[in-house]
Amino acid sequence: MNNLEQIRIHGRGGQGVVTAAELIAIAAFYDGLEAQAFPNFGVERTGAPIQAYARISKKKITTREQIYEPTVLIIQDSSLLDSGNILAGISDKTKIIINAKENRWDKLKNKKNLYFSPATEIALEMIGKNIVNTVILGAFAKYTKLVSLASLKKAIETKFKDKGEEIVAKNIKAIEKAFLK
């Protein structure tokens, strides 16, 4: 792990982008690390591109600036790759996790550290809805090892407590599947 891990998540309004960043921070905190998560709201509208950020460190995190040079980039909605510059600030070391079965983008051809997770497929199968934010975190835990699967599950239990046991159980199963895949 780097001194400061900076995770930037791209998705669309209504996909739980902000929740995903919060779950990462909660899980990292449960693992005994310092963590921070915050949203970057654009226009509050379903479908609008949204970013959220999470930071993980062994030291106290004080900065509030947005994440310009992510160490991990999570793309919840791959259609965002077709427009806009969501790859801004990435380096050869940036780990990129994409909700897709495989690479079909020319702009990713020469990129290193790519990880494809069929999150939509898993979400439809396990949760019954195209809500990929928790699913893709299973891939995040496996690929980056920045949070443990146990802490991620515990984070979901805490965060989704009010949504009921069934929702919690479904999300945890979906995360496990994405982790094992």
Partner 1 sequence: MIKNKITKKADQGKREILEGSRAVALMIKNIKPNVISAYPITPQTHIVEDLAKMKANGEADYEYLRAESEFAAASIVLGASAAGARVYSATSSQGLLLMAEVVHNIAGMRLPVVMTCANRAISAPISIWNDHSDVMNIKDSGFIQFFASDSQEAVNQHLLAYKIAEKQGLPVMVNMDGFILTHSYEPVIIPTRAKVKKFLPDYKPAKGTYLDPKNPKTFGAFFPPAYYMETRENLHQDLIKSLELIKKEYAFMIKTLGFNNKDNGLVEYLGPKNPKIILVALGSLNGTILETITSDKKLKTSVGLLKIKTYRPFPAQEIIKVIKAKTHVAVLEKAISLGQAGPLYNDVVEALSGQKNRSALIKNYIVGLGGRDISSEIIKKIIIDSPKKNASLKFYG
Task: Draw the binding track, 43-82, toward partner 1 (x: CB under 8 A; -: no contact).
Answer: -x-------------xxxxxxxxx-x--------------
Number of residues that bind partner 1 (CB under 8 A): 29
Q: Residues 13, 34, 130, 176: which binds partner 1 (CB under 8 A)?
A: 34
Q: Choose, by CB under 8 A, the member of 7, 9, 17, 37 that binds partner 1.
A: 37
Tokens at 23, concatenated: 């779950």
Window contacting partner 1 (CB under 8 A); options: 23-31, 94-102, 107-115, 124-132: 23-31
Residue by residue, DSSP assigns 71-135 as SEEEES-GGGGGSS-TTTT--TT-EEEEESSS---GGGTT-SSEEEE-HHHHHHHHTSS---HHH
Q: What end-to-end distance do the CA atoms of the chain give, in Å?
A: 23
Binding of partner 1 by 143 (CB under 8 A): no
With vertex at residue 94, the alpha carbon angle to CA 141 and CA 117, rounded to the nearest 5 degrees, is 45
Which DSSP string do the residues of 31-47 spell out, in sequence order?
TT-EEEEEEE--S--TT
Q: Which of 33, 96, 141, 168 binds partner 1 (CB under 8 A)?
A: 33
Output the smallest distance, CB 154 to partner 1, in A: 11
Question: Of 109-138, which residues contact partner 1 (CB under 8 A)?
Answer: none
- Which residues contact partner 1 by CB under 8 A? 1, 18, 21-22, 25-26, 29, 31-39, 41, 44, 58-66, 68, 148
